[in-house]
Amino acid sequence: MASELTAPVETAALAAEVEGLLDSAEPEGIYRDTRECGGGLLLAALLLISPPTPRAPKTDAR
Amino acid sequence: MTAGPAAQGAAPPSPPPGAAHPDAELLDDIVAGALRWLEAIRPCFRLPPDAATDADPNTTLKPLGELAELAHVMQTLHPLPQVRAAAAELFAFAWKETRGGELFAELVRGEPVATYPVELYGVFARAGLRNPAAEELIAATTSLVRWRVAREDHTRTLGVLNAERRIGLPEHTGFDRVLALTGLGLRPEPWALDLKAAYGLTHDVFHTADWGRSPGRLPAPLADYLRLWLPAWTETWTEERLWDLVGEFLAVTALLPGAPYDPAAWRRLAAARGADGALPERGDPPPGDAPDGERFTACYHSTLVAAFAATLARSRPPQPQSPAQSDRAAPRTTAHGGRPAGSPDPGGAAAEGPGNTLRGPADPRLPLPESEATP
Amino acid sequence: MLAEQAQENSSLSTVVADVANGVALALDGEGGSYALSALLAQDDAVALAAVRVLGADVLAPYALGAPPGGGPDEQVVRKALAAYPPGADASEVSVWSYRGLVEASRAFLPAGGDWPDTPQAGAAWLQTDPWPRLTHRASQLAALALPGLAPALAAGLAARTEDLARGFVRAVRRRDWLQAAGAGRWLARVPDVPQSLGLDAGLVYVRRMSGGDPRVALHAAAARRFHLRGPR
């Protein structure tokens, strides 16, 4: 087993990696919603006091 | 133009003071901040002269309708008289904007098969504010077979049915049958809920429970479903910082008998507000120097929802389940909400943990000023 | 140095994925008879690290009642345990996972005498963690959901089934498929998982949505083989 000769250095680095994989941080949540009905709200779908407000891309509107 | 029973809506009997809410300070701050901001931005709710013809109803009638619906809940259910008075003023303002309901006659004449004029009129009719001309027209259009043709969106149909109840019209189809077809009634996999379905689900609850006034109307299996999964939805949409939806989930939680109060979730909602008391619909508040119109669009909906949710929470103080668990009943400030709800925890072994939550009252009934809206 | 580390990183992840894939295939009943030592391309430090990362799951196929692993498997596991013991500052997850591998070795490898002692692992979090963190940790320890291992851990999690179910919902909504699969595997063990969670459909969904992540596949396969939940 040739690999065992390099073991001390390699193993130290790997041990840290093992720890990292075992106790991994939670990945950032990926939230993505359907593009269906995302943009053009038809008048027929006008929802008064009802589900979605017209949420045009107003946050970046300016 | 206003019919007799109008006074009924203007001066509802106060709900009994009841037990103080352990988180009253925060909840009252949310309502007070929202009312201050709404009062200041009130001119933006004014209807333009072409509200019944060319104006975009999404930016004119919808905001005014929401103001009326939610202000009336505050006016009716909030335990503090000064809040009820301020909300009553906003509600009266909204009725005035409709010119004592004449607007609805114009809207129905212009769009006889549209449901939104009826839905909107129902908000006022429930409070006893009536307009005979609008009502005659509505009686004519809603008695058509055309009115009974199924609509695309079952949630919306629930809104129409609730309006029919409020106005005193016969229900055009069975409420329970429609509810069973919705994203709430079908009890879909809770992890498959997306944004659109989430709004649908909260509104299924609002229409069924008449915006918190009749929580007992929610069928028990649906209430159980909501109690189980609301913490997970509140959490993920808080992470997403979609504050209007978080507010709607908190409102549903607040009206649900026996659902635990989650102080941490309320704190995160409160922290999302701007210095002016407004809650942005998503993300950060608009810059302080943004023009009124922009701040209005970014915040009016979510700010109304926050005040509505805080009113429902405040009107139904949670009660510790039993004396043995009463030591849990202090608001906690850990980062995440949600008690280990189903955890068998008879000995209270986990009481120090995240389990600290407050139970809602066992009695689902709210002190209703009037038994039903149906005249 | 950085580049080296990155390469190392990816190579460990790759080996972990390869081994997980082999275990998942074995649990799915494909790939013929199982032997851990046959899965490892070589018996080097990276392979041993991968064994330590996957923990008890490297022996999962033996828990199905197949003939226990032989001497070469025992050698590999012993080396992995020796090379990567939890240090003084190791996380509780690391300690639990190490413990799980020791327990699985005792249970599923031929009686070979002296395995390392099982270290004490902190368990207070089972009661004190808010449900999102509880779920994340439980998922990291999903290999210990194998039958018979760590009964205290299993009991602690079984007492918080609804919280774990909420965590499953949160993980799927975040598209954190690995966390969802791990949590779903624990949930598959308990009889009182809420009906409306839709666990079976959820495990199928997570496995498909993960795009073939072998570690996700491993959890889903384990849920199916040991607890009859999920993909049929």
Please report which confidence band the pLDDT of residue C230 belongs to, taking 50, 70 and 90 as the band edges: confident
Tell me what ipTM this predicted complex has. Answer: 0.93
Residue from B191, B246, B267 whose CB has the most chain C CBs within 10 Å, to mutate: B191
Instruction: Enumerate the residues of chain B whose CB falls inside 8 A of the CB of residue A45.
Output: 152-153
Taking the C-alpha atoms of residue B203 and residue B223, their distance in angstroms, rounded to an integer, is 14
Q: Per the domain annotation, does A58 fall within a domain?
A: no
Taking CA–CA distances from C172, the nearest residue in chain B reads B191
Answer yes or no: is A36 within a domain.
Answer: no
pLDDT in tens, B272-291: 999 999 999 999 999 989 99
Beta bridge partner(s), residue C87: none
pLDDT for C68: 76
pLDDT at B21 over 90: yes
Tell me what pLDDT residue C69 has: 73
Q: Please report, for the domain that includes residue B258, its CATH number.
A: 1.50.10
Q: Residues B216-235: pLDDT tens digits?
A: 999 999 999 999 999 999 99
- Angstrom CA distances, C147 to B125, C5, C74, C95, C228, stand at 62, 36, 20, 19, 13
Q: How many domains does chain A have?
A: 1
- Provide the number of structural domains found in chain B: 1
Structure tokens at B183: 């994203």
B344 within some domain:
no
pLDDT at C30: 78
pLDDT at A62 over 80: no
Does the residue B231 lie in any domain? yes
End-to-end CA distance of chain C: 46
* Predicted TM-score of the model (pTM): 0.86
Mark yes or no for CB contact C166/B231 under 8 Å: yes
pLDDT of residue B104 exceeding 90, the answer is: yes
Confidence of residue A53 (pLDDT cuts 50, 70, 90): very low
pLDDT at B71 over 80: yes
Please count the residue pairs, one from chain A and one from chain B, whose beta carbons lie less than 8 angstroms apart.
74
Angle at B290 between CA B285 and CA B292, to 5 degrees: 100
Average of per-residue pLDDT across A6-26: 85
Task: Look at B194 and C69; give whichever has higher pLDDT.
Answer: B194
Structural domain boundaries, residue A20: 1-27
Single-letter amino acid, residue B108: V
* Chain C residues with at least one Cβ partner in A under 8 Å: 5, 8-9, 12-13, 16, 42-46, 49, 52-53, 55, 83-84, 87, 90-91, 93-94, 97, 136, 140, 173-176, 179
**C-alpha triplet B99, B104, B109: angle, nearest 5°:** 130
Domain that holds residue B285: 19-316
Which among A48, A55, A59 is the top mutation candidate for probing chain B, defined by the most B β-carbons within 10 Å of its own β-carbon? A48
What pLDDT does B321 receive?
54
Q: Cα-Cα-Cα-Cα dihedral of C7, C12, C16, C21, to 10°?
A: 40
The distance of B233 to chain C (nearest Cα, Å) reads: 7
Q: How confident is the model at residue B310 (pLDDT cuts 50, 70, 90)?
A: very high
* Average pLDDT score over residue span C135-152: 97
Is residue B189 included in any domain, yes or no? yes
Residues of B whose CB is below 8 A from C132: 235, 336, 338
**B184/B334: higher pLDDT:** B184
